[in-house]
Structure 1
Amino acid sequence: MTRRAALCPSLLLAAALLAGCGGDTATVASASTGGASAPSGSAAPDTSADDGTGGGTPDDGSATAPPFEGDTAPATQEASADAQVTVTEIRTGRQDGYDRVVLELGGTGTPGWDVRYVDQASSQGSGSPIEVAGDAALQVTVTGAGYPYSTGVEEWAGPDPLPGNGTVTVTEVAWDATYEGTSVAVVGTTGEAPFRVYALQDPTRIVVEVADAG
């Protein structure tokens, strides 16, 4: 992996975004399907009873999620037409059998994402290499993003890179930039492990969970 030059300071797939703190639910689909339905035999994570043993805050995801059925294929979800969001915080944490990375966002509309392993992560605009510790790089591209002066929301400013918080597979998260409607973070991992992505609301979050490497 290579390290980027700093630019501006500044997750089974799909999501049902339901209002109500403590009552969030998310429909998780296979990362390879790009669809909005849960994979056969799985249930949506129970996001109302996170035990907080991982990093972040309650409702960042679920400590009682269904069996991990992710894979290594790209996961994508379109943003709403009115999306103008800014990443305000990034958190990492550990759950039983997988690590979690949470991108919290402020602004309007529903963000989208493109999450995939890349051979070489490169900074938006400049093309400079993004360096991240680990043997693989999981690039998380948030779509429907806006600059802070457009969203009125202060953008996350580090630490960069953000180290894993008791994680096993996730090594760190490197922040790139917001550029022409997208914001990028690169998750360093110990290998190309299966992952899943979903979204939660109140506040808006994109949750990327990476299974323990086999």
Structure 2
Amino acid sequence: MKTFRVWFIAIMLAVASGLVAPGPASAAPYCGLVWGSLVKSNPAMSQAQVTNVRTGQHYCFDRLVIDLNGRVGGYTVRYVPQVTQDGSGLPVPLRGQAFIQVTVNDPAYDQNGKSTYNPGNRKELTNVTGYQTFRQVAWAGSFEGYSSLGIGVRARLPFRVFALEGPAAGSRLVIDVAHFW
């Protein structure tokens, strides 16, 4: 019993003196992401055309991929109060609490005006049911060499944009939207 009291007193003194106190709280970013939510753009143009749009889920973010049959041109990706259609400016209704307008400086048609990407359902390009951040992906059109789409997300969250080469002579524009700040 005497040994127990000695240990108990030693532990209490250590706690009181701060020797075994927890370390300071850290505000590390979610999954190490440090992207931000401001506009991201590149003004370049190219001769590529949009051929497909697809999505995927990752532990830290939801991903949108735009496939092109050549080198990615420029792009503008930004949060907007409302996504609008190319040419007409009409609103594109989206589910979610925040909206991202993606404009690729590449058309979805070839030199003869033939469509290179013609979605079956312009309001639901991919099924994002069960995604943590995405609520809807919709087509906003292709006009005068630019193609646009809208992403409805659950909140204004950080995102990043980058291009990947391949497969073959094609490339991909990738937009990742984080699940949390």
**Fold in common (TM above 0.5):** yes
Paired AA for residue 131 in structure 2: T
Q: Please state whether the residue corresponding to 1:88 is helix, strand or coil.
A: strand
| Residue 37 of structure 2 corresponds to residue 72 of structure 1 | yes
Name 1:130's counterpart in structure 2: 92
Measured in 2, the distance between the counterparts of 1:124 and 1:115 equals: 14
Question: Root-mean-square deviation (CA), in Å?
Answer: 2.1
TM-score, normalising length: structure 1: 0.62
Name 1:104's counterpart in structure 2: 67
Measured in 2, the distance between the counterparts of 1:105 and 1:165 equals: 25
TM-score, normalising length: structure 2: 0.73
Q: Measured at CA, do residues 74 and 93 of structure 1 come closer, stay the same or move farther in structure 2, by a change above 3 Å?
A: same
Name 1:90's counterpart in structure 2: 53
Kept after mapping to 1: 8 A contact 2:66/2:174: yes
**Count of residues in Structure 1 that have an aligned counterpart in Structure 2:** 146
Paired AA for residue 78 in structure 1: P
Instruction: Give the ranges of 4+ consecutive aligned residues of structure 1 lying more than 3 Å apart after TM superposition.
Output: 149-153
Measured in 2, the distance between the counterparts of 1:125 and 1:113 equals: 17
Following superposition, the deviation at residue 208 of structure 1 comes to 0.3
Structure 2, unmatched stretches of 5+, are 1-30
What is the identity percentage for the equivalent residue pairs of Structure 1 and Structure 2?
A: 34
Structure 1, unmatched stretches of 5+, are 1-65
Measured in 1, the distance between the counterparts of 2:114 and 2:101 equals: 26
Correspondence for 2:80 among 118, 143, 147: 118
| Residue 108 of structure 2 corresponds to residue 143 of structure 1 | no
Measured in 2, the distance between the counterparts of 1:73 and 1:91 equals: 23
Whose helix proportion is higher, 1 or 2? 2
Measured in 2, the distance between the counterparts of 1:104 and 1:72 equals: 23
Paired AA for residue 141 in structure 1: T
Measured in 2, the distance between the counterparts of 1:195 and 1:165 equals: 20
